[in-house]
Structure formats: C-alpha cells, structure tokens
Amino acid sequence: MRRAPARAFARGLPPVLPRGARILVLGSFPGAASLAARQYYAHPRNHFWPIVGALVGEPLAALPYADRLERIARHGIALWDTIVACERLGSSDASIRRETRAEVVRVRRSSPDIVLVAFNGGTAARAAPRWRDAGYRTIALPSTSPAYTRPFDEKLAAWRTLERWLAAGGPASDRSAALEG
C-alpha cells in the first residue's frame, strides 16, 4: 500500500501594510515559488503584477520586488493572505489543512485607512464574511494564479473594478487633497 505524501507545515509571508493604504488585496496562501522567494506572487506566470501594473499605469512586473512594493504603497495598496500558516501539499489551495487565519484586528490597528478588501481568488473570498462583519467593503476577484486558466484579458477586465477605488485618491494621507482639489 502506498503512503500519501506528507503535508508540510508552512508559515506565510508577513503582511505588506503601508501607511495610508486604502485597498487590501488578500490571497489565500503563498504558493511554493512565493514561499521560496519570500515574495508575494513570485511565480513567473502569476498575473498579479502585470494586472496591478496595468491598473496603476506602472510596469510593476519589470521592477525588482522592493520597488514593486514601494510603487503599490504609493497607490494605496496593501497585501496579505487570508491564511497565515497551514499544512499543505504543494501549492494547491485544495490541499490546505489546519489553517491559521489572518487577524482582522491586526489590519484595523496597523492600517486604519483600509476601506476595501479585495480577494484574489475563490479560496481567499471564502473569508469575505469575516472581513465584512468587521466593517470592510469586500470584492471577490478572479485568481491571478496560473492554475486559474482564464485568459489574462478576462482577469484584467474583472480586476478593473478596483480602478474607481484607486482613482479615489490612492493612499489615505493624500486622499483629502485629491478629493478637495
């Protein structure tokens, strides 16, 4: 009898919660490539950086990771995952077990200007009720993962719903000037 492969316990990446962020993008849990690189959306075929780059008008995918984070911070975007630790076999969300969830209160304390939580994919979106109950507006978006085989243009069209939030002023620290002017 063959034994099933062992699930590995893994901790996710630390949150990227820049001061003044208005939008929090939550994935489910980093894939193997992201965990190995210690970078959000590190898989070369993940559409996250090209999509967000298109939304903010910056070539994010072509930049070093630290510059990507700095640029999204300028546009009021924060990153984290709905699961901060779990057992998982490979990169499949379907194999996640024994999960520890992200703490809503941590986000509220460290990033009080966040008003919208955008979920990157269906697994992440299952956490939406918890975030809505905490007073956030939420939106479920198609996964940018290469495992979700929809065409790039179709994913981008759905993600364009974030543009009105981005147009509302970027980081909260700049919002009052942008809306008053």
> What residue ranges define each of the domains in the chain, with the CATH number in brackets?
12-165 (3.40.470.10)
Q: What pLDDT, on the 0 to 100 scale, is given for residue 171?
A: 58
For residue 84, pLDDT over 80 is answered with: yes
Q: What pLDDT, on the 0 to 100 scale, is given for residue 3?
A: 61
Chain segment 106-150, per-residue pLDDT in tens: 999 999 999 999 999 999 999 999 999 999 999 999 999 998 989
* Cα distance between residue 119 and residue 141, in whole Å: 6
Q: Which helix (H) or strand (E) holds 55?
A: helix 48-56
For residue 67, pLDDT over 80 is answered with: yes
Cα–Cα distances (Å) from 67 to 8, 58, 71, 103, in that order, read 31, 11, 6, 27
pTM for the full predicted model: 0.88
Phi then psi dihedrals of residue 176, to 5 deg: -60, -40
The single residue of 46, 82, 120, 143 carrying the catalytic annotation is 46
Residues 6+ apart with CB under 8 A from 78: 15, 16, 17, 18, 21, 23, 24, 25, 72, 107, 111, 114
Q: What is the mean pLDDT of the chain?
A: 89
Confidence of residue 160 (pLDDT cuts 50, 70, 90): very high
Q: At what angle do helices 48-56 and 65-74 cross, to 10 degrees?
A: 40
Own/partner pairs, 150-156, CB within 8 angstroms, 24+ separation = 152/47, 152/50, 152/51, 155/47, 155/51, 156/47, 156/51, 156/54
* Cα distance between residue 19 and residue 113, in whole Å: 8
CA 152 to chain centre: 17
* Cα distance between residue 127 and residue 178, in whole Å: 32
Confidence of residue 4 (pLDDT cuts 50, 70, 90): low
How large is the average pLDDT for residues 29-45?
A: 96
Annotated catalytic, 120?
no
Phi then psi dihedrals of residue 80, to 5 deg: -165, -170
